[in-house]
Amino acid sequence: MWEVASSLHPIADESRVMNNLTIGVLALQGAFAEHMKMLRRLGVEARAVRKPEELAGLDGLIIPGGESTTMALVAERWGLVQPLKAWVQAGRPTWGTCAGMILLSDRATGQKQGGQALIGGLDVTVNRNYFGRQIDSFEAELSVPALGDAPVHAVFIRAPAVTQTGPDVDILADLTDSAGQSVVVAVQAGPILATAFHPELTDDLRWHELFVGMVAERSGVVEVEE
Ligand code: GLN
């Protein structure tokens, strides 16, 4: 019997069942091609999503990093904001990285004047450019118990951080900033995963494996142990 997603499996064991899954990557702007490559390495079909109708038939969706204001503007222009909200509200598995994390958050601070459309669904507050005040981009080793003992190398690019979490949000990783303050940089709440950094820019497949496991569990491909 297959176990739930939160305990990781060797890729070789998983690929047999993952072949049936199709995961969309919102491809309006930003680092979508890198996510698609990682998914394909896991034996998952990856589909670029640019139109509302391309959400049909997907088992999961990744909203990549990039620039959240631009991505939201393009999504509005292409009629994607409401379909994306409906997708998330229906409880479909969704992973936001960096700008994607901002768009999935219920509340954001540090937004550009006039704000921006948020898709929402994740009960957190993000500070849109949390680290910007200190340094634009940096890399760090994170301890992420959900991904096993080996530390995770994380690439932060004008990254947000989670400054407040609702009661049903699990914290997967935090980081001590240059002021000695601990801030949350990865969370999961049911079918939603959000990371402030860019796993698709490293060679470590573990975050994609975790998400694919979440998708498989919810699409019925993987049996959940009682
Ligand atoms: N802080 C950026 C924003 O507001 C996100 C940066 C990123 O995705 N690398 O969209």
Say if ligand 1 is within 6 A of residue 97 CB: no
For the chain, 226 residues long, the average pLDDT of each consecutive 10-residue run is 37 53 96 97 97 97 96 95 97 98 94 75 96 82 97 96 97 91 96 98 97 92 55
Confidence (pLDDT) at 134: 59
Confidence (pLDDT) at 220: 72
User: How far, CA to CA in Å, does 189 sit from each of 74, 172, 200?
Assistant: 26, 10, 21
- Residue located nearest, by CA, to atom 5 of ligand 1: 99
CA distance 19 to 220: 13
Which of 71, 74, 103, 128 gets mutated to test ligand 1 (max ligand atoms within 8 A of its CB)? 128
Count of H helices and E strands in the chain?
6, 12
Say if ligand 1 is within 6 A of residue 3 CB: no
CA distance 23 to 46: 5
Query: Which residues participate in catalysis according to the annotation?
Result: 98, 198, 200
CA distance 35 to 219: 20
Express each pLDDT in 97-125 by its tens digit.
999 999 999 999 987 766 667 899 999 99
Which of 32, 35, 68, 74 gets mutated to test ligand 1 (max ligand atoms within 8 A of its CB)? 68
**201 in Cβ contact with 6 (< 8 Å):** no
**152 in Cβ contact with 173 (< 8 Å):** yes
**Distance of CA 156 from the midpoint of ligand 1 (Å):** 9
Confidence (pLDDT) at 225: 52
User: How far, CA to CA in Å, does 73 sit from each of 42, 67, 78, 119, 181?
Assistant: 31, 10, 9, 12, 33
Confidence (pLDDT) at 82: 97
**Distance of CA 12 from the midpoint of ligand 1 (Å):** 34
Report CA 11 to chain centroid distance, whole Å: 20
Structural domains of the chain sorted by starting position, each given as residue range(s) with its CATH number in brackets: 14-219 (3.40.50.880)
Say if ligand 1 is within 6 A of residue 66 CB: yes
Confidence (pLDDT) at 139: 95
Confidence (pLDDT) at 15: 47
Say if ligand 1 is within 6 A of residue 160 CB: yes
